[in-house]
C-alpha cells in the first residue's frame, strides 16, 4: 500500500500518517521531518569552501558557481536542510527539487520497496506530477492520495497550539493561505486519476483514522 496524505498545516497529516503506518505496519516518509533533521544537522563546514569555487577559474560566472553549489546541495543531507531553512522560516513552499531529492533517498531504501506513507508532499498539482514521474522512474505506483478536509480557522488554531519554532502566527497564516490557493488543482489532479479519497478532518483524530482505514479496506 502506497499513500500520500494531503492537507494544510494543522490538518492532522502527521498524526494520521503515523497512525496508518502503525495500523498497516508500513514505513513513513515525512518530508517535513527529513528537512527539519537535515537543518538541525547543518554546520558551516558543510558548505563548499568559497575559494574552491573560484580558485583557478577567476572568469567563472555566477551561474556556474550557483550550479556547483546546487549540485553539492542536493547530494548532501545537511546542506539539503540548510537550503530549505529560509523557505521553512518564511512559510513559503520549499523548492520542489529539495523535497524530491529527500523523498528519492528514502524510496531507494529496501524497507520502502512495497509499502509506505508519504506525508508533507505534494501540495500542488505540479508537485504531484513531479512525484508521479519519480515514482514511475523508481517502479512505484501510488494507490491513494488522502485529503484531510479541515476548515481554515481550525487549521490555524491547531497550529498555534503546537508551539513549534516555525509556527509563528504570521507564518502559520501564510502557510494556510498558500495551501488553499493550491488546493483545487491538486485535488483535481488526483481525482482525474481516480486516486483521491476525501476525509472530513474536522473530527477527533481517532474518528478520522477509522474513516481512512474503513475506506482503504473497502477499496483493497
Check whether 73 has a pLDDT greater than 50: no
Calculate mean pLDDT across residues 20-38. Answer: 84
Check whether 165 has a pLDDT greater than 80: no
Dist. CA 134–CA 141, nearest whole Å: 10
pTM exceeds 0.95: no
Q: How far apart are the first and last CA of the chain?
A: 9
What is the sign of the dihedral through the CA atoms of 202, 203, 205 and 208? negative
Check whether 19 has a pLDDT greater than 50: yes
Check whether 208 has a pLDDT greater than 70: yes
User: Alpha carbon 106 to chain centroid distance?
Assistant: 12
Check whether 70 has a pLDDT greater than 50: no
Range name among 137-151, 158-172, 195-209 with the lowest pLDDT average: 158-172
- Residues belonging to the chain: 220
Task: Label each residue of the chain as H, E or C.
Answer: CEEEEECCCCCCHHHHHHHHHHHHCCCEEEHHHHHHHHHHHCCHHHCCCHHHHHCCCCCCCHHHHHHHHHHHHHHCHHHHHHHHHHHHHHCCCCCHHHHHHHHHHHHCCHHHCCCEEEECCCCCHHHHHHHHHHHHHHCCCCCEEEEEECCHHHHHHHHHCCCCCCCCHHHHHHHHHHHHHHHHHHHHHHHHCCCEEEEECCCCHHHHHHHHHHHHHHCC
Phi and psi (nearest 5°) for 140? -105, 150
Check whether 187 has a pLDDT greater than 90: yes
Percent of the chain predicted with pLDDT > 90: 45
Check whether 198 has a pLDDT greater than 70: yes
Task: Write down the CATH superfamily of domain 2-218.
Answer: P-loop containing nucleotide triphosphate hydrolases (3.40.50.300)
Q: Which comes out higher in pLDDT, residue 165 or 148?
A: 148
Q: Which comes out higher in pLDDT, residue 18 or 184?
A: 18
pLDDT, residue 196, reads 97
Contact (CB, 8 A) for 4 and 132: no
pLDDT tens by residue, 4-16: 999 988 899 999 9
Check whether 121 has a pLDDT greater than 50: yes
Task: Write down the mean pLDDT value for the chain.
Answer: 79
Calculate mean pLDDT across residues 125-131. Answer: 93
pLDDT, residue 215, reads 95
Non-local CB neighbours of 105 within 8 Å, separated by 6+ positions: 77
pLDDT confidence band for 41 (50 / 70 / 90): low
Contact (CB, 8 A) for 117 and 216: no
Angle between helices 96-107 and 31-41 (to 10 degrees): 100
Amino acid at each position: 500500500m502506497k499513500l500520500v496524505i494531503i492537507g494544510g498545516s494543522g490538518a492532522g497529516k502527521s498524526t494520521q500518517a503515523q497512525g496508518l503506518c502503525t495500523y498497516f505496519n508500513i514505513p513513513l516518509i515525512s518530508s517535513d521531518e527529513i528537512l527539519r533533521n537535515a537543518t538541525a544537522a547543518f554546520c558551516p563546514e558543510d558548505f563548499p569552501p568559497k575559494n574552491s569555487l573560484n580558485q583557478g577559474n577567476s572568469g567563472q560566472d555566477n551561474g556556474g558557481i550557483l550550479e556547483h553549489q546546487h549540485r553539492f546541495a542536493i547530494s548532501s543531507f545537511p546542506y539539503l536542510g540548510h537550503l530549505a531553512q529560509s523557505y521553512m522560516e518564511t512559510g513559503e513552499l520549499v523548492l520542489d527539487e529539495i523535497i524530491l531529492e529527500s523523498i528519492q533517498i528514502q524510496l531507494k531504501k529496501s524497507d520502502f520497496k512495497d509499502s509506505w506513507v508519504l506525508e508533507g508532499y505534494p501540495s500542488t498539482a505540479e508537485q504531484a506530477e513531479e512525484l508521479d514521474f519519480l515514482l514511475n522512474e523508481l517502479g512505484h505506483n501510488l494507490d491513494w492520495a488522502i485529503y484531510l478536509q479541515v476548515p481554515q480557522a481550525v487549521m490555524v488554531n491547531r497550529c498555534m497550539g503546537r508551539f513549534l519554532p516555525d509556527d509563528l502566527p504570521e507564518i502559520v497564516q501564510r502557510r494556510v493561505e498558500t495551501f488553499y490557493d493550491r488546493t483545487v488543482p491538486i485535488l483535481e489532479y488526483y481525482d482525474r486519476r481516480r486516486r483521491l479519497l476525501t476525509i472530513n478532518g474536522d473530527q477527533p483524530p481517532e474518528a478520522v483514522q477509522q474513516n481512512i482505514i474503513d475506506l482503504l479496506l473497502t477499496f483493497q
